[in-house]
Amino acid sequence: MNCAVILLLTSSCFTWSSGIYIPNGSAPKKLKYLLEPPVYAEVVARRGENATLPCILRTKPSLYKVKWTKLEPEHVGQENIIMITNAHGFKPYGHLGPRASLRKAHTMDASLQLSRLELDDGGKYRCELVNGIEDENVVITLRIEGVVFPYQSKDGRYRFTFPEAKEACAEQDGKLATYSQLYRAWTEGLDWCNAGWLHDGTVHYPIIYPRPACGGELLPGIRSYGPKDKNHDHFDAFCFTSQTSGSVYYIPGSFSFEQAGKACQRQGAELALVGHLYSAWRFQKYDQCDGGWLRDGSVRFPINSPREHCGGVPEAGVRSFGFPNKMMHLYGAYCYR
């Protein structure tokens, strides 16, 4: 295993202009037609909600088009066009098009509305005014509010290749987290000593309390192994999920794994996924001091009000008993409906 290095934030001399970072000393181009986004450069929403990405015209050229595009940094040179519009109408494109519309709050409003947000909708969006040689654009960030959770195989630590980690997160109602999502989770208290895959194929782990087993005396931060071989290297996964449309609840009892599943089915529900439990913990402040089976065969419980007899850890979180023998009649069931 290569030695981990810590990523530290450094201060650089950059300014924000028209959705683009420009080194200080460079004269930013003053937009003639589009209003710059000094206030709404980032829009925050949860999965399942609707979001509006603002783009306002200062003045209209005689002939123009406005093109909305989702920027995909992992696919350089590939445009993911969502919509092209002019003064008379608009045409949707791609997989986002069916959920896209124009707000049209007034005649100068070219803001994009996205409905029924999904986890993959987060990222940067460009509103581009196309007018011959005077093209202009602004960039707006859509951030899906959610929670990052570490996940490992039932077979033990460091068993996932990158494709397997991606599949494991999807099976638990999530997706591989981005670096910025992991960083935000670290600022909110995530401290985890096992390295995991992220969305871009790099491997990291977040440390708040440095200790010998987790990088020694390095400062707190995001420890990095950098990019790894996606098909041959093995790590855990950091998954990201957001709010769900259903609800999670607990059925007390001393069930085996199979009995727990049947207990949920009798109430028209099914065993919850790990992502469901984390979502309930984060967004509904779910607190239940009882271990319960989940659909992947793990046993966990969510704590929002830490207390001594509920895991003995001073921080809130989802506690885990790992993957016990499925025949053990010791735990209740966490159901999702």
Q: Is the Cα dihedral 203, 180, 200, 174 positive or negative? A: positive
**Is residue 23 scored above 70 in pLDDT?**
no
Phi, psi of 261 (to 5 degrees): -60, -40
Pairing of strands 299-303, 51-53: unpaired
Distances (CA, A) of 320 to 150, 155, 298, 311: 11, 15, 8, 9
Q: Which of 28-37, 185-194, 235-244, 276-285 has the lowest mean pLDDT?
A: 28-37
- Residue 37 one-letter amino acid: P
**Is residue 224 scored above 70 in pLDDT?**
yes
- In-domain check, residue 140: yes
Residues ≥6 apart with Cβ < 8 Å to 115 = 50, 99, 100, 101
**Is residue 2 scored above 60 in pLDDT?**
no
> Based on the domain organization, do 55 and 136 belong to the same domain?
yes
What's the pLDDT score for residue 29? 67
Average pLDDT, integer, range 148-165? 97
**Is residue 134 scored above 80 in pLDDT?**
no
Q: Which two tokens stand for residue 75?
A: 């696919």
Q: Which of 13-17, 65-69, 152-156 has the lowest mean pLDDT?
A: 13-17
Q: For 247-256, write each residue's pLDDT tens digit.
A: 999 999 999 9
- In-domain check, residue 23: no
> Based on the domain organization, do 83 and 156 belong to the same domain?
no
- In-domain check, residue 136: yes
**Order of strands, sheet of 51-53, starting from the edge strand that comes earlier in the sequence:** 51-53, 112-114, 100-102
DSSP string spanning 243-262? Answer: --SS-EEEEEEEE-HHHHHH
Task: Give bridge partners of residue 53 from the DSSP assignment.
Answer: 112
What's the pLDDT score for residue 19? 40
- Give the separation between CA 125 and CA 127, rounded to whole angstroms: 7
Residue range(s) defining the domain that contains residue 130: 31-144
User: What global pTM score does this model have?
Assistant: 0.86
Q: For 35-49, write each residue's pLDDT tens digit.
A: 877 667 899 999 999
Q: Is the Cα dihedral 132, 138, 144, 148 positive or negative? A: positive
Residues ≥6 apart with Cβ < 8 Å to 138 = 18, 19, 31, 34, 35, 36, 37, 55, 126, 127
Q: Which H or E run contains 203? A: strand 202-207
Nearest CA to 92 out of 109, 112, 76 is that of 112
Given 209, 224, 241, the domain boundary residue is: 241
- In-domain check, residue 13: no
Dihedral class, residue 79 (left if φ above 0, else alpha if ψ from -120 to 50, else beta) = beta
Given 196, 213, 241, the domain boundary residue is: 241
Average pLDDT, integer, range 229-256? 97
Q: pLDDT-derived band of residue 327, with 50, 70 and 90 as boundaries? A: very high
- Is the Cβ–Cβ distance between 21 and 12 less than 8 Å? no
What's the pLDDT score for residue 33? 82
SS3 readout for 84-143: EECCCCEEECCCCHHHEEECCCCCCECCEEECCCCHHHCEEEEEEEECCCCCEEEEEEEE
**Is residue 190 scored above 60 in pLDDT?**
yes
Q: pLDDT-derived band of residue 311, with 50, 70 and 90 as boundaries? A: confident
- In-domain check, residue 119: yes
- In-domain check, residue 5: no
Given 241, 267, 292, the domain boundary residue is: 241
Q: Which of 192-206, 209-223, 227-241, 311-325 has the lowest mean pLDDT?
A: 209-223
Q: What is the mean pLDDT of the chain?
A: 89
> Based on the domain organization, do 186 and 130 belong to the same domain?
no
Average pLDDT, integer, range 278-307? 97
- Residue 272 one-letter amino acid: A
Q: pLDDT-derived band of residue 151, with 50, 70 and 90 as boundaries? A: very high
What's the pLDDT score for residue 8? 36
- Is the Cβ–Cβ distance between 126 and 71 less than 8 Å? yes
Average pLDDT, integer, range 243-271? 97
Q: pLDDT-derived band of residue 28, with 50, 70 and 90 as boundaries? A: low
> Based on the domain organization, do 111 and 167 belong to the same domain?
no
Nearest CA to 183 out of 168, 169, 198 is that of 198
**Is residue 12 scored above 80 in pLDDT?**
no
- Residue with token string 């050229």: 61
> Based on the domain organization, do 48 and 132 belong to the same domain?
yes
Average pLDDT, integer, range 62-90? 84
CATH number at residue 170: 3.10.100.10
CATH number at residue 140: 2.60.40.10
Q: Which two tokens stand for residue 209?
A: 């309390």
- Per the structure, the count of domains in the chain is 3
Average pLDDT, integer, range 6-17? 37
> Based on the domain organization, do 177 and 128 belong to the same domain?
no
Q: Which of 31-45, 95-109, 245-259 has the lowest mean pLDDT?
A: 31-45
